[in-house]
Amino acid sequence: MSLGIPRLKRLALVAAVGGSLLAGLARPAAAKPGMVKAKTGQVFQGDVDEAAKPGFVIIKQPTGPVTINQANVDTITYFDTPKAEFDARMNNLGRQDVPGRVALARWALSQKELDLAGQAVASAKQIDPANAEVTALEKQVAAAQQAVAATRPAPSTVPATAAAGDPPRPPVLAAKRQVTPDEIQLVRQRELKANEKIRMLVPPDLKKKIVEAGLKTAAEARAMSQPDIGLLVIAQGTPEMRREVKISADPVGVMDYRSKVNRSIVSGCASAACHGGDKGGKLVLFAPAENEAAAITNFVVLQKFERKNDGVLRPMVDRTQPLNSLLLSYLLPPNQSPRAPHPDVQGYKGMVKSSTDPVFVAAQEWMGRTLSANTPNYDDIDLSQDPKPAPDKPAAGAGK
């Protein structure tokens, strides 16, 4: 019987080791980049760890860890991409916080996100153009961008066609008309960000329709507000249902375009001798800048326009890498835009003198921060043709 004791000990040891291994496997994931907002209103950013200390959240920051009782936490947001973290950190900076922007630019450099670093530097320089640290950092970012550009393959080796299997995109044709009221609604719905609060008109009978469409149960629909019903229909409803939702104001991406970008583009590009008439080629823009239909037409034109440059197909508006956009390249003097200079036009010297010009900075921040990252498909808004009647609205004279 004495031999049974060591066996029991061995069994207990195996059980203990097995239990510890299972516990290790069940342990929550390690710290992840994120932002924690306390119920007091304080915001902490860094590597967020919810598992290291039960009942507490630990935020690891360069200055040291911060520990918050779980009961005092309002929200935790995790960042899936460097851009998401960049946007959150930039949004939390004060309007005149130059040191914060410098720190953010250095962080972006450490992440090898050169376009984001450039955005932070440009924003800082707009606040304090004479700041020596900002100027030095601007040169550092420019040098890093040039070094990366030097390692890229020659233009002839870069494919200019869509990837195999991608559906061919319709050719870009010059706009001959402005958007209709229905098309303005399409733009507003497609540019609306998740959780963005905005005024909209929602017919009462849409509550019944979302139940009939299987989007919500009757009980769930009764508990929803009219704006929530409108957002649900925009995201998941049929085209017929979406046409019933009327947004009465511009989403922030369209609003910022109209207030900060369109006016400069119209004054500098939309003259009859440039892009305001037939001499503009495939890029035709409309004036006056204050007109709603003209401004939103220009917005759509810019989203759809693209052109090959040295064998590379570039969009006019690049929401994820603004410095690769044709718009920013064309704003600069041709000799300062090595990636995609404005086509050779007699007398054109650029709309701005450098990338620190407020017009350039406003356009860069609009593309990289204000707009949603994913560009909606606007192929169904063909401004080169007369507008098509909505499916539920018969054409004039139909049925006669």
Domain that holds residue 222: 199-247
The residue out of 247, 279, 310 marking a domain boundary is 247
The helix, strand and coil proportions of the chain, stated in percent and rounded to the nearest 5, come to 45, 10, 45
Q: How confident is the model at residue 133 (pLDDT cuts 50, 70, 90)?
A: confident
pLDDT, residue 393, reads: 47
Report which of 370, 180, 122, 111 is spatially closest to residue 261, judged by C-alpha positions: 370
Q: Is a pLDDT exceeding 90 seen at residue 338? A: no
Q: Report, in angstroms and rounded to the nearest whole number, the Rg of the chain calculated over CA atoms.
A: 27
pLDDT of residue 116: 86
Q: Which amino acid is at 48?
A: V
Same domain, 127 and 141: yes
Check residue 399 and give left, alpha or beta (phi > 0: left; psi -120 to 50: alpha).
Answer: left
Shared domain check, 364 and 283: yes
CATH of residue 100's domain is: 1.25.40
Share of the chain above pLDDT 70, in %: 76
- The verdict on 268 and 329 lying in the same domain is yes
Residue 142 has a pLDDT of 80
DSSP H or E run through 292: helix 292-304
How high is the pLDDT of residue 155?
Answer: 40
* CA-to-CA separations, 54 to 28, 179, 227, in angstroms, rounded: 11, 56, 38
- In a shared domain, residues 329 and 270: yes
Q: Is the pLDDT of residue 281 over 70?
A: no
What single-letter amino acid sits at 174? Answer: A
Residues 258 and 363 in one domain: yes
Quick check: 235 and 189 in contact, CB under 8 A?
Answer: no
Q: Does any domain span residue 62?
A: no
Residue bearing the bigger pLDDT, 104 or 27: 104
Q: Which among 210, 227, 247 is the end of a domain?
A: 247
pLDDT given at position 29 = 55
Domain tally, the chain: 3
Q: Is residue 23 part of a domain?
A: no
User: Does residue 194 lie within any of the structural domains?
Assistant: no
In a domain, 256, yes or no: yes
Residues 240, 278 within the same domain: no
CA–CA separation, 191 and 16 (whole Å): 56
Query: Alpha-carbon distance 174 to 335, whole Å?
Result: 27
Of 247, 264, 287, the last residue of a domain is 247
Do 143 and 235 fall into the same domain? no
In which residue are the tokens 């991406």 written? 253
Average pLDDT, the chain: 78
Residues 234 and 126 grouped into a single domain:
no
Tell me if 338 is assigned to some domain.
yes
Return the H-helix or E-strand segment holding 149.
helix 132-151
177, HSE (Cβ side, Cα atoms, 13 Å) = 12
Alpha-carbon gap, residue 310 to 34, rounded angstroms: 40
Residue 339 lies in a domain: yes
Q: Which residue type sits at 240?
A: E
Q: What is the DSSP string of 316-340?
A: S--SS-GGGSHHHHHHS-GGG-SSS
Whether 171 is in a domain gets the answer no
| Comparison of pLDDT for 194 and 291, the residue scoring more | 291
Q: What's the pLDDT band for 156 if we cut at 50, 70, 90?
A: very low
- Name the residue with higher pLDDT: 159 or 287: 287
Tell me: do 263 and 226 sit in the same domain.
no
Residue 273 lies in a domain: yes
Contact (Cβ atoms closer than 8 angstroms) between residue 297 and residue 270: no
Both 302 and 340 in one domain: the answer is: yes
Confidence of residue 15 (pLDDT cuts 50, 70, 90): very low
Looking at the structure, tell me whether residues 122 and 205 fall in a common domain: no
According to DSSP, the β-strands at 312-315 and 306-309 are antiparallel
Together in a domain, 219 and 276: no
**What is the per-residue pLDDT for 375?**
84
Q: Which residue has the higher pLDDT, 389 or 15?
A: 389
pLDDT given at position 302: 92
